[in-house]
Amino acid sequence: MTDLRSSLAAQGPVDLTTIATDATPQFDGTKRDARRLLPEIGKRLMASQELLFANGRAGTTDRKVLMLLQGMDTSGKGGTLRHVAGLVDPQGLVITAFKAPTEEERSHDFLWRVERRLPPAGMIGVFDRSHYEDVLIGRVRSLADSDEIERRYDAINDFEQRFVDGGGVLLKCFLHISPDDQKERLAERLDDPTKYWKYNPGDLDERELWDEYQRAYEVVLERCSTPSAPWYVVPAGRKWYRNWAIATMLGETLDELDLKWPEADFDVEEQKRRLATM
């Protein structure tokens, strides 16, 4: 079977209305099957990640992985962090949740705060939202003029290319849900007092701009899906598929790094002899 990333990669112009949010590409099984598979995938992820981490510690690699999550409210960024990022060793993970920029951040170029949060060699970084907000909400809410928005698409591509040239691999996931998926999930939050904290009245203001956001995502998926750093459209109407798919793609990404265990930079036999006397 071809790898899942090739199935989900955005190529050329994208019309999101033609992609079903409850589709389950490359998975034929039930919810229960997907959930049962996750710990197995987790074990393999943990093993591949250890190899990356070991090389990072030993200073024998420049490789690093950045998983970037974008999607409308309730699309499952938090759930993906919990259920997928939660599968790997937290020592090797750096998570950044990007909020509205602070005053200091706004006084710099939009990529300044992002650059600082790129994972170092040996690590897996996860972005919960990202620099793409600057061409999403930035565009929909006209937070910058259109020339500036135009400039940013290329700036993002250059920035990501530089990350890749330095040994980075990007896994950019758009969690694709429908307005009905969102309506159901927002209603759940409003029906359950243990979920009120996840709800923000502003979410409905954004929801009113659904079509504008979808259009902004389509532009991103077309202009910023490059051979070095493709975007993946992950149907996220079914949470179990979303988790399975992202975990699977993360595994593909790690395995492709094709690393070896770092060699000893000391004389193993000499160390054994010394230890034996102690």
Q: How far apart are CA 168 and CA 25, in angstroms?
A: 26
Using the rule CB under 8 A, which residue among 22, 142, 187, 211 binds a copy of itself? 187
Q: How far apart are CA 16 and CA 70, in angstroms?
A: 14
Using the rule CB under 8 A, which residue among 21, 24, 48, 55 binds a copy of itself? 55
* Residue number with CB closer to a copy of itself (8 or 85): 85
Q: Which of 72, 230, 221 is nearest to 137 (CA)?
A: 72
Residue 253 sits in the site that holds a copy of itself (CB under 8 A) = no
User: Per-residue contact track with a copy of itself, 146 to 185, x per CB under 8 A?
Assistant: -------------------------------------x--
Q: How far apart are CA 62 and CA 66, in angstroms?
A: 13
Q: Which residues in 188-247 contact a copy of itself (CB under 8 A)?
A: 190, 193-194, 196-201, 204, 207-208
Q: How far is the CB of 20 from a copy of itself (least distance, A)?
A: 21
Using the rule CB under 8 A, which residue among 6, 17, 30, 91 binds a copy of itself? 91
* Residue number with CB closer to a copy of itself (158 or 204): 204
Q: Which residues in 15-54 contact a copy of itself (CB under 8 A)?
A: 46, 54
Q: How far is the CB of 19 from a copy of itself (least distance, A)?
A: 22
Q: How far is the CB of 142 from a copy of itself (least distance, A)?
A: 22
Do the beta carbons of residue 224 and residue 136 sit within 8 Å? no
Residues of this chain that interact with a copy of itself (CB under 8 A) are 46, 54-55, 57-58, 78, 81-82, 85-86, 88-91, 93, 95, 97, 126, 128, 183, 186-187, 190, 193-194, 196-201, 204, 207-208, 261-264, 266, 268, 271-272, 274-275, 278
